[in-house]
Amino acid sequence: MSPMLFVDGLLASGAIALALLSLNAREVFTSIVLFVCLGLLATLIWARLGAWDVAIAEAAIGAGLTGALLLAARHRLREPTSRDDTPAARRPHVS
Amino acid sequence: MNNSLFGTPLLPLAVVIPLIAAIVSLLLTSPRARSITGIGFATLLLFALAPWLWHTPGADLPTSVRYALGGWGAPLGIDLHLDGFATVLLLSTAALVLVLSIYSAFYFAGQSQAARFWPLWWMLVAGLNGVFLAADAFNVYVLLEIIGLASVALVALAGTREACTAALRYALVGLLGSLCYLLGVALLYRHYGTLDFAQLADLAQADPLTWAALALVTAGLLLKTALLPLHFWLPSAHANAPAPVSAVLSALVVKASFYLIARYWLDILSPAVTDLGSMLLGLLGAVAVIWGCVAAFRAHRLKLLVAYSTVAQLGYLFLLFPLAASGTDTHMALEAVVYFIVAHALAKAAMFLAAGNILRACGHDDIARLRGVAGQQPASLFIFAIAGVSLIGLPPSGGFIAKWLLLNTAISSGQWWWAVVVLCGGLLAALYIFKVLNLAFVRVDLPSGQIPQPVSAPTHAGMTLCAFALAIGAVALGFSAEWLVTLLDAGSSVTTFSQGAGT
Amino acid sequence: MTPDIIYSGAGMVVFAMGLYGVIASAHILRKLVAINIMGIGVFMLLIATAHHDTLIDPVPHAMVLTGIVVAVAGTALCLWLAVVIRGLEHDAASHPSQ
Amino acid sequence: MITYLTVVTGLLLSMLLAGLWRVMRGPTESDRMLATQLFGTAGVALLMLLAVLQQQAALLNAALVLALLAPLTLVAFVRFSGESR
Amino acid sequence: MFREMSPSFTDTHASTLPRVARVLVASVITAGGAALLLATLRTDKAPPELAVLVSEQLATSGVENPVTAVLLNFRSYDTLLEIAVLLIVAIAMQPHASSQPRIVAPSTNNESATNLVLTSLLRWLIPLSVLVGGYLLWTGAYAPGGAFQAGAVLAAAGVALALTERYQFGWQSAGAQWLISAGLAIFIATGIVSGMVTGTFLQYPVTYAATLILVVEIAATVSIAAILLQLFTRLARADVTSPHTSGASS
């Protein structure tokens, strides 16, 4: 079944490409974003290989929670005052 | 599934009791109740394992015992497995945990970390016992994560920047090691279609994929055992942790991953082991012995010195592989190494507790500033000296017997060069131990009225007593060689998986 | 070329790249991303192993599920330690007397 | 029909991977973040196609979870990167 | 070169490794990886005997989804320990502020911005996530889904709630302690009780297997969700802590 083989090739090479790009990204933020994308692609690969339970878990944890965790940590590692919990230290939101 | 064998129904208790203890101490709110239940559970654990303690070895204890969790049996379910090797380690863990729990109850008294210490402590114990009983490759991965993450959290309890940085590095190394191990397990599963140790031992052959899996498993475990080129994380982590945590890390945690390496090399994947690989491990061990001693000698802090000494002592353990590879002396080499593990566990725990007491009393553990400290801390220095006797391997101590057995094996297997390493290691250990003692026992003539160092926290007598008990244990081990060896013989040898396979 | 070969190979390549990333990169978040990428590589190998022509082996799937949860736990602990160290560094900078 | 769906899957996948270009190029963090949302949306579609291809209706669960949780990273981004704009 | 394992927090793209070391590491990994690849692809996979065994025993496991059967019956010991792993991290990240009576409380931070788009999105997202979480838990017995997935989705709902900044979570409260330890506690209790009946730890009586697995799954879901949510809120500082007590220091 050659069309499916094409899909397989795309998924696998896409995963390799995303891993490579994520590891070589110029900024940490891009690295995180590309990792989240890799998680999404991994979800597709698990689904393709019949690992449906794993696909659901990966969609929830790999693509959702890990990304949020990494972004939250990046925020706290960057902010100038890391411990003083004063409201002034909080940043306004995108509006 | 011969679960009815003597003592076996209680086998899961070795893991379940610590887990329950963890939950209970998490839910308790009173610090006092927490430490009392901690000591209580430690006693309970020791008594649950007591059937093996008081058993006349060799009489009717089977060479190896299996317990099918969930009742499914090996390939489908997960088994527990107990033999002489595991028994010795389980018992020494239980004994050490009891003493260290008592010590910790004093150490953390009135401190806010206690709320997190006790649950993490019990999780760590559960992981250790689980590894010693494990008979499933993937189960070991989960247990390694339990041990790794609990250790990291315990190191971070010290709360200083150095401790947290060391903990973070430890965590990264731990995750890296686990993933290498997991890849190895994945390859094994792919190749042999099973995760059970006994089945793997049956099926294993010498082919490229098995070599790759063995290399990955070994690399992952070596990272966690901190054999020389991969030891970079150990000194800072062990030196910056709270004293009882340092003690358990050096005494037991690194031994757990060594235990697994020994299992994989001598038993589970033994057909794939080559002489070259064994030689390489032995060589790395030998370099670790020498280099660790030199680094310990040059360390500026007392706890760092003790931590580097762990790097050196771990080196001896890896002499097991070339010595066992000679074939005829596998059992003898294993005896020596198991003896060494127990002796080192006791001596090193005692030493870390003594160092912790000194650190607590003086407010620092800068070796240069410990001049004449024996005047103020005679008990701790005395304990340090006794433990040092065992580490150096002077008679009459557990360390002496362990080294004697190692030398014997080395000579009888015709690999005399390892004997030279053992002797050199002992000599170098004497150097750094005596350096400390020499400095500490110097009489300092202080100007009158000047108190040398402010006492930052009083050391409870119980803490000294615990350290003393461990040090005495390390020496007493030298007089009870018979008992330990027969206990080990109850499981006949390490190769119980390949013998007892075929279930 | 079967899916098994494609994805097993890709999994190992991804693992190797992640390994390089862990060793070579300095930033803690990059290291953690690299460790998670290694994890994805292992999981890919396991799930490709589970994929047989006639039936699908659930055991590696269970292993991967366990692995995913363990990975997120480990990542969270590392991130937490990093944040704590950052806070302690900041304290040391603002109260140099301590 | 199966072939047709497979071809559609392949096409969708290549378009999804083309979205990488935006993640790489940026220039702002928001651009990159939005590109991941494209990944998420296309991922949902692909999961549903795979559900039909493999005749595994339960795979729709995965699509559902992905659709629900893909915005989570975006929300976290909005919350945590006030300074980008 | 291994000293460089000490991580940094400043984003310097260039790694701190010297170029020679990087090339060395890269070539070692490439060589090792190539050997591994070759060894793997040249060796045949083992026949799926274990998969056959699982499908044979599926009827006695109490559930129809083979992955759930493996996770919660055949290899339940692994799952038990895995929940312990999560609990360890939760304990490690616990705050130690003393006065936290409730798990969830309205935020005291009155500057919490009200972003209209965000709140209205989350108003839809959160109830739906809770619904899907419950659905995944229930469906896990016979279709893909189960405790982990449900727990993760529920945790995600909580994360969304935390992101609104309208609520704070008190993880030191007694309720939270029970919540995060319930999964492990009930798992062990089930294992012991059924072990008393059947004689083997974690062996469920066949007739009650389905019920027992469901009980364990519900408890595990709750704990997994609570723990994952705790991990996030501690990192994002959306929980109740008095200032200057964050961190592992005392």
E184 and B152: CB-CB below 8 Å?
A: no
Render pLDDT for B41-87 as a digit per residue (tens, 0 to 9): 999 999 888 776 555 444 455 567 888 998 888 789 999 988 888 88
With CA atoms as reference, report the closest residue to B123 among E87, C73, C79.
E87
Q: Residue B328's pLDDT is what?
A: 66
Instruction: Locate all alpha helices (DSSP H) within D1-85, ordered by sequence.
Output: 2-18, 20-25, 29-53, 59-80
- When scoring D3, D23, D48 by the number of chain A Cβ atoms within 10 A, the one with the most, hence best to mutate, is D23
What is the phi/psi pair of residue D8, to 5°? -60, -45
Measuring CA to CA, which residue among E53, C25, E160 is closest to residue B72?
Answer: E53
Tens of pLDDT, residue by residue over D8-24, are 888 888 888 888 888 88
Band the pLDDT of B122: cuts 50, 70, 90. very high
Q: Is E200 left (phi over 0), alpha (psi -120 to 50) or beta?
A: beta
Question: How far is the C-alpha of E205 from the C-alpha of E194, rounded, in Å?
Answer: 7
Q: pLDDT at position B79, please? A: 92
Rounded distance, CA B495 to CA C24, Å?
A: 40
What dihedral do alpha carbons E160, E163, E167, E168 form, nearest 10°?
A: 110
Residue ranges of domains in chain D? 2-84
E103 interfaces chain C, CB cutoff of 8 Å? no
Q: Name beta bridge partners: B61.
A: none
Contact B353, B241 (CB under 8 A): no
3-state secondary structure chain C: CCHHHHHHHHHHHHHHHHHHHHHHCCEHHHHHHHHHHHHHHHHHHHHHHHECCCCECHHHHHHHHHHHHHHHHHHHHHHHHHHHHHHHHHHHHHCCCC
Do C and E touch, 3+ Cβ pairs within 8 Å? The answer is: yes
- Residue B404: which of B415, B391, B419, B416 has the closest Cα? B419
> What's the rounded Cα separation, in Å, for the pair C76 and C22?
16
Q: What is the DSSP string of B235-280?
A: HHHHHHS-HHHHHHIIIIIHHHHHHHHHHIIIIITGGG--HHHHHH
**CB of E124 less than 8 A from some CB of C:** no
DSSP three-state, residue E221: helix
The CATH number of whichever domain residue C35 belongs to comes to 1.10.287.3510
Confidence of residue E2 (pLDDT cuts 50, 70, 90): very low
Which chains does E contact via 3+ CB–CB distances below 8 A? Answer: A, B, C, D
The continuous run of DSSP H or E covering E121 comes out as helix E116-139
B372 — pLDDT class (breaks 50, 70, 90):
confident
Q: Which residues pair with E109 in a beta bridge?
A: none
Provide, as residue numbers in chain E, all residues whose Cβ is less than 8 Å from the Cβ of C58: 51, 54, 66-67, 69-70
D55 close to D82: Cβ distance less than 8 angstroms: no
pLDDT at A91 over 50: no
Segment B124-134 shows an average pLDDT of 96
Say yes or no to pLDDT of B9 above 80. Answer: no
Contact D61 E165 (CB under 8 A): no
Give the confidence band of E125 by pLDDT, cuts at 50, 70, 90.
confident
Q: Mind listing the pLDDT tens digit for each residue in B292-317?
A: 999 999 999 999 999 999 999 999 99
Among the partner-chain residues C44, C56, C72, the one whose CB lies closest to the CB of A66 is C72
Give the closest-approach CA distance of A88 to chain C in angstroms: 17
Looking at every residue in chain A, the average pLDDT score rounds to 81
For position B82, what pLDDT does the model report? 85
For D57, other C-beta atoms within 10 Å of its C-beta total: 11
What would the pLDDT profile of B439-483 be if each residue is shown by its tens digit? Answer: 888 876 655 444 555 555 667 888 999 999 999 999 988 887 777
* Cβ <8 Å between B193 and E81: no
Answer yes or no: is pLDDT of B498 > 70: no
Helix (H, G, I), strand (E, B) or coil at B301: strand
Rounded to the nearest angstrom, the gap between the alpha carbon of residue E234 and the centroid of all alpha carbons in its chain is 15
Give every residue of chain C whose pLDDT is below 50, as ranges.
98
Asked which of B19-28, B132-141, B273-282, D17-26 is least confident by mean pLDDT, the reply is D17-26
Cβ distance B172 to C81 less than 8 Å, yes or no, reads: no
Residue the block writes with tokens 């029909």: D1
| Chain A interface disruption, residue of E10, E13, E163, most A CBs within 10 A | E13
Q: Which segments of B82-226 does DSSP mark as H helices, in order?
A: 84-107, 114-133, 137-156, 161-192, 197-203, 208-225
Rounded to an integer, what distance in angstroms lies between the CA atom of residue A6 and that of residue D9? 10
DSSP E131-191: HHHHHHHHHTTTSS--HHHHHHHHHHHHHHHHHTTSEEE-TTSHHHHHHHHHHHHHHHHHH
Token reading at D44: 């949902």
- Chain B CA closest to residue C38: B179
Of residues B457, B396, E124, E67, the one with CA closest to residue C57 = E67
Contact, B222 vs B230, CB < 8 A? yes
**Token pair of E39, please?**
């060894």
What are the distances in angstroms from CA B313 to CA B306, B308, B318? 10, 9, 10
Name the H helices within B271-329: 275-298, 302-317, 320-325
* Cα torsion angle, B377, B380, B386, B390, sign: negative
B465 burial level (CB within 10 Å; 0-12, 13-18, 19+): middle
Contact A86, A70 (CB under 8 A): no
Q: What is the average pLDDT value for chain B, to the nearest integer?
A: 87
The tokens describing B486, both together, are 């027969």
Q: B502 falls in which pLDDT band (50, 70, 90)?
A: very low
pLDDT of residue B58: 47
State pLDDT tens for residues E163-195: 877 777 888 788 888 999 999 999 999 999 998
CA distances from B138 to B102, B152, B428, C59 (A): 33, 21, 40, 10
pLDDT over 50 (residue E201) = yes
ipTM of the complex: 0.92
Residue type, B228: L
Q: What is the pLDDT of residue C98?
A: 41
Q: Left if phi > 0, otherwise alpha if psi is -120 to 50, otherwise beta: which for E104?
A: beta
Which range has the top average pLDDT, B3-17, B123-137, B452-466? B123-137
pLDDT at position C7: 95
- Amino acid of residue B50: A
At B141-154, the pLDDT tens digits run: 999 999 999 999 99
Confidence band (pLDDT; 50, 70, 90) for B241? Answer: very high
Say if residue E13's pLDDT is above 80: no
Please tell me the distance from the alpha carbon of residue E175 to that of residue E171, in angstroms, as a whole number.
8
Average pLDDT over residues E143-156: 90
Our separate counts of H helices and E strands in chain B read 22, 2
The residue of chain D with its CA nearest to that of E126 is: D68
C-alpha closest to that of D40 among A7, A25, E144, A43:
A43
**What's the DSSP call for residue B12?**
T
Q: Angle between the C58-94 and C28-50 helix axes, to the nearest 10 degrees?
A: 180
B162-179 pLDDT tens trace: 999 999 999 999 999 999
**What are the structural domain ranges in chain A?**
2-77
Helix (H) or strand (E) holding B81: strand B78-83
The string of DSSP letters for B397-415 reads SHHHHHHHHHHHHHHHTT-
User: What is the pLDDT, as a whole number, of residue B95?
Assistant: 93
On whether the CB atoms of residues B230 and B293 are closer than 8 A, the answer is no
SS3 B354: helix
Which residues share a beta bridge with C56? Answer: C51
Q: Tokens at residue B153, please?
A: 């959290």
Chain C residues 1-20 within an 8 A CB cutoff of chain A: 1, 3, 6-7, 9-10, 13-14, 17-18, 20
- Give the residue from B383, B365, B408, B413 showing the smallest Cα distance to B475: B383
Q: What is the rounded CA–CA span in Å between residue E28 and residue E34?
A: 10
* Interchain pair A12, C30: CB under 8 A: no
Asked if residue B6 has pLDDT above 90, the reply is: no
| Domain carrying residue C45 | 3-94
